[in-house]
């Protein structure tokens, strides 16, 4: 039986006003889901809640069968380090270091080794000796994705990972992400405004009028 990696029950959250309420979601191994919606609808907030960075006003988040609000700081830190793959738009690469060093840091921290095939698939293998500052925005984006996947996370949270990429490169990145979750029994939760990228996932949801509705 396939394991549920993310279980979300009855989430509500407000900043200045209520963004959403009664959000429920389950994502299993090998599953990819996309969340689309207008700018300001709360997609990034939802992703930050799912990935432990914001505690919602109401509701529970369970990651790998652990209620994250019952975990000690240490356990939460380990969960983030070993099991979660966070791809947000601003990538935190070390600009003065080479591509190789940037990827190595991630693998060292998570006791993994560099996956050469992944670097080939992302078409960044030739860039290993170059400094990050010399790469284009799209190349940097792919290096940051390589860095996240090199940790071998069980759940990938990606906020507009293809937002700065041309269509061909965006499709390449989606292919790599989807192949990764299939191979590693992982899950992908993707936030995007691009319906074409969303359609590549198993299920798509629209965040609108405080609700998360499945698109069919």
Which is nearer to ligand ADP, 41 or 51 (by Cβ)? Answer: 41
Q: What secondary structure does DSSP assign to 80-105, as a single string?
A: IIIIEEEE-SS----TTSBHHHHHHH
Q: How far is CA 169 from the centre of its chain?
A: 17
Residue 42 lies near ligand ADP (rule: CB under 6 A): yes
When binding is defined by CB under 6 A, the residue of 1, 40, 90, 96 that contacts ligand ADP is 40
Q: How far is CA 170 from the centre of its chain?
A: 15
Tell the smallest beta-carbon distance from residue 27 to ligand ADP (Å). Answer: 19
Tell the smallest beta-carbon distance from residue 194 to Mg ion (Å). Answer: 13
Query: What does DSSP assign to residue 147?
Result: H
24 exposure class (CB count in 10 Å sphere: 0-12, 13-18, 19+): exposed
What H or E segment, with its residue span, contains residue 143?
A: helix 137-150
- Binding segment for ligand ADP (CB under 6 A), chosen from 36-44, 124-132, 164-172, 177-185, is 36-44
Residue 52 lies near ligand ADP (rule: CB under 6 A): no
Residue 41 lies near ligand ADP (rule: CB under 6 A): yes
Cα Rg of the chain, angstroms: 17
Chain residues 31-60 in contact with Mg ion, contact rule CB under 5 A = 44
Which of ligand ADP, Mg ion, none sits in contact with 192, Cβ below 5 to 8 A by type? Answer: none
Q: How many residues of this chain bind ligand ADP (CB under 6 A)?
A: 10
Q: Which of 155, 204, 158 is nearest to 44 (CA)?
A: 158
Do residues 155 and 6 touch, judged by C-beta distance below 8 A?
A: yes
Residue 192 lies near ligand ADP (rule: CB under 6 A): no
Chain residues 61-120 in contact with ligand ADP, contact rule CB under 6 A = none
Tell the smallest beta-carbon distance from residue 13 to ligand ADP (Å). Answer: 9
> CA-to-CA distance for 156 and 29, rounded, in angstroms?
11
Which of Mg ion, ligand ADP, none sits in contact with 94, Cβ below 5 to 8 A by type? Answer: none
Q: Which of 203, 200, 213, 207 is nearest to 38 (CA)?
A: 207
Q: Which residue is nearest to Mg ion (CB)?
A: 44
145 exposure class (CB count in 10 Å sphere: 0-12, 13-18, 19+): buried
Which is nearer to ligand ADP, 4 or 89 (by Cβ)? Answer: 89
- Binding segment for ligand ADP (CB under 6 A), chosen from 21-29, 43-51, 68-76, 91-99, is 43-51
Interface ranges with Mg ion (CB under 5 A): 44
The residues that touch ligand ADP, with contacts defined as CB under 6 A, are: 15, 19, 37, 39-45
């Amino acid at each position: 039986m396939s394991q549920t990696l993310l279980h979300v029950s009855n989430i509500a959250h407000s900043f200045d006003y209520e963004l959403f309420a009664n959000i429920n979601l389950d994502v299993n191994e090998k599953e990819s889901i996309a969340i689309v919606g207008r700018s300001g609808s709360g997609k990034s907030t939802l992703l930050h809640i799912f990935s432990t960075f914001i505690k919602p006003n109401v509701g529970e988040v369970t990651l790998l069968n652990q209620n994250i609000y019952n975990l000690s700081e240490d356990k939460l830190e380990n969960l983030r380090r070993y099991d979660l793959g966070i791809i947000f738009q601003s990538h935190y690469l070390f600009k003065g270091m080479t591509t190789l060093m940037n990827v190595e840091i991630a693998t060292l921290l998570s006791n993994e080794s560099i996956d050469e095939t992944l670097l080939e698939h992302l078409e960044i293998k030739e860039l290993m000796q170059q400094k990050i500052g010399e790469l284009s925005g799209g190349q940097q984006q792919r290096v940051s994705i390589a860095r996240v996947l090199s940790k071998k996370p069980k759940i990938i949270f990606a906020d507009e990972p293809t937002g700065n990429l041309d269509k061909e490169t965006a499709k390449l990145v989606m292919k790599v992400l989807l192949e990764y979750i299939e191979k590693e029994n992982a899950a992908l939760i993707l936030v995007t405004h691009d319906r074409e990228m969303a359609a590549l996932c198993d299920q798509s949801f629209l965040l609108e009028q405080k609700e998360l509705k499945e698109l069919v």
